[in-house]
Amino acid sequence: VLLLLSIAGIVIYLGLSLASYLVLRRWHESALGKEN
């Protein structure tokens, strides 16, 4: 059970970090586009 929980936590963490990275990159590009 602990192994499954740890794996699920790692998958969720990686998914959130990837999603936040994509969102921040997209927002950064749009912000730069508006400034220019």
pLDDT of residue 14: 98
**What is d(CA 33, CA 29) in angstroms, rounded to the nearest whole number?**
6
* Measured distance CA(27)–CA(30) in Å, rounded: 5
pTM: 0.61
The string of pLDDT tens digits covering residues 1-36 is 999 999 999 999 999 999 999 999 888 778 777 765
pLDDT computed for residue 29 by the predictor: 78
> What CA–CA distance (Å, rounded) separates 19 from 22?
5
Taking the C-alpha atoms of residue 6 and residue 18, their distance in angstroms, rounded to an integer, is: 18
Report d(CA 4, CA 26) in Å as an integer: 33
DSSP state of 9: H
In the chain, domain spans = 1-31
